[in-house]
Amino acid sequence: MSDLGATLRLAGAAWSFVRADVLIPREVEHLVPAPARLAARTLRLLAGRQARQGRPGERLARVLQGQGPVAIKLGQLLSTRADIFGEAFAADLAHLKDRLPPFPVEVARAEVALALNRPVESVFASFEPPVAAASIAQAHPATLLDGRRAAVKVLRPGVERQVALDVRAMRQAARIAERLGPEARRLEPRAVAETVARTLQLELDLRMEAAGASELAEVAAIDGHMRIPKVIWDGVGKRVLTLEWAHGLALSDPAALAQEGLDRPALADAVIRGFLTQALDHGVFHGDLHEGNLFVAAPDVLTAVDFGIIGRIGPNERRYLAEILYGFLERDYRHVAQVHFDAGYVPARHSVEAFAQALRAVGEPIFGVDATGVSMGQVLGQLFEITSLFEMRLRPELILLQKTMVTAEGVARTIHPRHDIWKAADPVVRRWIVRELSPPARIKRLAEEGLDLFRALKRRVEEEPAVAVVEARETHGTPLMWFALGAAVAGLAFMIGAYLR
């Protein structure tokens, strides 16, 4: 698709939004400023018959479903935030998670046979019609030859081409957005588009998803907050993934939370703590924790499926995240502000104290208030204003982490409307702080940094081409190498001594 084709595709999508009256729906027109109301009324003159059919969420769901995988994933994210957009709006978008129109079981069987390069009967004793269908793939119940129940995920036919078209249009939209002004550029639209594009490309190879599921299963076994089904490697191919069956009901099923003996507070805690322990302790996390991907069983068993999106954050980002959360838990806004500056999230020309004051204005109103009394829409709006005031640029490497945090909180609130994310996060964050930022842990990290410095100097010395250096190394080692070793040890001793003082 050319740039012109991508632009036309965007124009077509915009026209669909106008025709369905979902940009500024008539139902919420009274909430927006006068200029926006005038624009909405003008655009509504172009609206079609579908603009009068159903609630805003129903109309938006129809439009997003027709726009392809990227648009559908946007709808899935919006559907997790009933606390921001309202229960009815979220419910209207909920079917985008796993209740899209499926493709025939005969087509799925053919796709499985082609991907595994053998007959379906050689792997499965039974292969049943789909029980869930999403934007990229659908899931089929099956029975393995040894009698175990399994779930078989099969990519939609032609989805690769659809995703490629969506990605091209998304990149064009990002280029257009960057021309809108400094505020749009601060949000790094092109970097966001590339992050989403990379994620979608990985989702189209189910062998990668199988590997991600296997890795997360090892992590989850350590922490115990979340269960991960076992991968059946005999049933894995580029377009097919087989996992052991997840017990319980998907949270997207209205009957899930009506199960007898369900401990809702414990399940809500498990969502938050499962995500945070994955991210903080292991640097890898499930990046698509919406209700369609989470199964619950009494009393508090939480099982995650669909591992097409795996997030990763490095050691520094993990430390920044933990210290920011810990600072909010302790209401130490000065520390939270300093971490933002240390991480480079806020330009150094700004005042740490002023930024701490702004964070206090957001944080204080939510402490001591019942969770149901906290408007996440208001909090997010205030945070966005602060990021603009202090010229914080969106961090592309943290996009998925931030999106997953928002989704996880939305899911936790769905399970238990009075859930307090800060209370749930507290033990996980404090455990990390004690383990990683205690004096012994810091000394260990300093020692590792000193050894890394020595190894780097040693590699550089060993690459010197001079014959004399080679001869000296063969006998007693190069003087420079011994100097490097002494410098590294002395530097390490100095750092430890400075810390202990």
For 149, the 3-state DSSP assignment is strand
Closest by CA position to 296, among listed 221, 218, 227:
227
**Residue 454 structure tokens:** 């020595």
- Give the length of the chain: 501
Q: Within 10 A of 347 (CB to CB), how many other CB atoms are there?
A: 11
| Residue 238 contacts residue 115 (beta carbons within 8 Å) | yes
Burial of 431 (0-12, 13-18, 19+ CB in 10 A): middle
* Residue 322 backbone phi and psi in degrees, to 5: -65, -45
Using the 8-state DSSP alphabet, how is residue 396 labeled?
A: G
User: Is 288 a known active-site residue?
Assistant: yes
Of the candidates 166, 281, 288, 306, the residue annotated as catalytic is: 288
CA distance linking residue 256 with residue 243, whole number of Å: 21
The closest alpha carbon to 100, from 127, 126, 73, 119, belongs to 73
Give the integer Cα–Cα distance in Å for 163 and 159: 6
Distance CA 460, CA 464 (A): 7
CA torsion angle for 452, 278, 423, 291 (degrees, to 10)? 150
Long-range contacts of 61-64 (CB under 8 A, 24+ apart): 61/92, 61/93, 61/95, 61/96, 62/20, 63/13, 63/16, 63/17, 63/20, 63/22, 64/93, 64/96
- Residue closest to 399 by CA, chosen among 190, 206, 203: 190
Residue 244 main-chain phi, psi, to 5 deg: -60, 150
State how far the Cα of 275 lies from the Cα of 283, in Å rounded to an integer: 10
Contact 173, 10 (CB under 8 A): yes
The set of long-range contacts for 429-433, using a CB threshold of 8 Å and a minimum separation of 24, is 429/276, 429/280, 429/322, 429/325, 429/326, 429/329, 430/326, 430/329, 432/280, 432/281, 432/322, 433/322, 433/323, 433/326
Q: With b meaning 16 or more CB within 10 Å and e meaning fewer, what string describes 269-307?
A: bbbbbbbbbbbbbbebbbbbbbbbbbbbbeebbbbbbbb
Residue 261's φ and ψ, nearest 5 degrees, are 80, 10
> Dihedrals φ, ψ of 22, to 5°?
-120, 0
Residues marked active site are found at 288
